């Protein structure tokens, strides 16, 4: 299968209360690529937080004024170095600054993570089904750093209608031998792929991925399938 990834241009600045599903559906519908059953929309966290009002005011003259909010939003601090705080959030994500960030947000404000990004994805999906009669997958993505590897990449923090993890255990490799441990986090791979066309600076907040394996189109959840149980975790 060939995959095509389109940046979705023309999404206006998002304010609290905006019906993201209807808006994204309309913008895609008007784009030359349109929107069809089985497309996967990757929506960056920032516009989800803005639509849901997951924003806080900060002192725009103090570059560290969001740090007390980081401490409040985190359920656990894993590491600190200088201004860098690696946190576990209430959702179970391990990321810098409890996922709070200031880029592409109006001065004097910071965006928090959505309360429940799986639910946010589900709402967008349901709304597109309701208004356009189309069944699409939706991923809410955010930008996380990684231990051991420099540079950030986008990962999925919520999903609906698209598998978070595809379990290939029990399938056979090209030599007819059963694959041992191959649970692939396709939601993170889709989020990463989408970031290649969204970019950080351009402010394109949505990408459309066409050509995804139809077997992956199912109900799913990042919190249930991807967030690792701290008890199973070797690095916390």
Q: Which residue has the tokens 């905006």?
A: 18
Binding mask of the shown chain, residues 36 to 65, with x at each position contacting its own copies by CB under 8 A: ------------------------------
* CA angle centred on 162, ends 30 and 193, rounded to 5°: 70
Given 113, 140, 164, 206, the residue binding its own copies (CB under 8 A): 164
CB nearer to its own copies: pick between 119 and 223: 223
Q: Does 234 bind its own copies (CB under 8 A)?
A: yes
Q: Rule CB under 8 A: is residue 152 a binding residue for its own copies?
A: yes
Spatial CB neighbours of 63, under 8 Å, sequence gap ≥ 6: none
Mutual angle of helices 117-132 and 20-30, in 10-degree steps: 50
The CA distance from 80 to 152, in Å, is 18
Q: Which of residues 168-207 bind its own copies (CB under 8 A)?
A: 168, 171-175, 177, 179-186, 188-190, 192-193, 195-197, 199-203
Q: Which is nearer to its own copies, 123 or 227 (CB)?
A: 227
User: Looking at beta carbons only, is 92 or 135 nearer to its own copies?
Assistant: 92
- Helix, strand or coil, per DSSP, at residue 71: helix
* Cα–Cα dist 112/98, whole Å: 8
Burial classification of residue 20, based on how many CB atoms lie within 10 Å of its CB (0-12 exposed, 13-18 middle, 19 or more buried): buried
- Select 72 or 200, whichever has its Cβ closest to its own copies: 200
Query: Which DSSP category does 9 fall into?
Result: -
Shortest distance, CB of residue 133 to its own copies, whole angstroms?
Answer: 25
Return d(Cα 106, Cα 117) in angstroms, integer. 22
Instruction: Give the three-class secondary structure for 229.
Output: coil
Residues numbered 79-138 forming contacts with its own copies, rule: CB under 8 A: 79, 81, 86, 93-94, 102-107
Contact footprint for its own copies (CB under 8 A): 1-7, 33, 78-79, 81, 86, 93-94, 102-107, 143, 146-155, 164-165, 168, 171-175, 177, 179-186, 188-190, 192-193, 195-197, 199-203, 212, 225-228, 233-236
């Amino acid at each position: 299968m060939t995959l095509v990834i389109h940046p979705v241009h023309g999404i206006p600045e998002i304010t609290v209360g905006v019906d993201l599903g209807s808006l994204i559906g309309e913008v895609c519908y008007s784009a030359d690529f349109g929107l069809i059953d089985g497309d996967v929309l990757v929506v960056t966290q920032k516009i989800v937080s803005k639509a849901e009002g997951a924003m806080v005011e900060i002192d725009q003259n103090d570059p560290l004024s969001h740090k007390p909010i980081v401490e409040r939003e985190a359920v656990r601090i894993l590491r600190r170095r200088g201004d860098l705080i690696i946190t576990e959030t209430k959702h179970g994500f391990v990321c810098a600054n409890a996922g709070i960030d200031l880029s592409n947000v109006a001065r004097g404000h910071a965006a928090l993570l959505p309360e429940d990004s799986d639910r946010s994805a589900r709402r967008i999906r349901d709304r597109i089904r309701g208004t356009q009669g189309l069944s699409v997958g939706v991923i809410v993505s955010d930008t996380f750093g990684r231990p051991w590897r420099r540079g950030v990449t986008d990962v999925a923090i919520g999903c609906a209608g698209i598998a978070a993890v595809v379990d290939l255990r029990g399938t056979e490799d090209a030599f007819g031998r059963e694959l041992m441990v191959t649970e692939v986090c396709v939601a993170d791979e889709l989020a990463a792929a989408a970031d290649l066309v969204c970019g950080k600076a351009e402010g394109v907040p949505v990408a459309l991925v066409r050509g995804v394996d139809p077997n992956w189109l199912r109900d799913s959840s990042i919190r249930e399938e991807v967030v690792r149980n701290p008890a199973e975790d070797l690095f916390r």
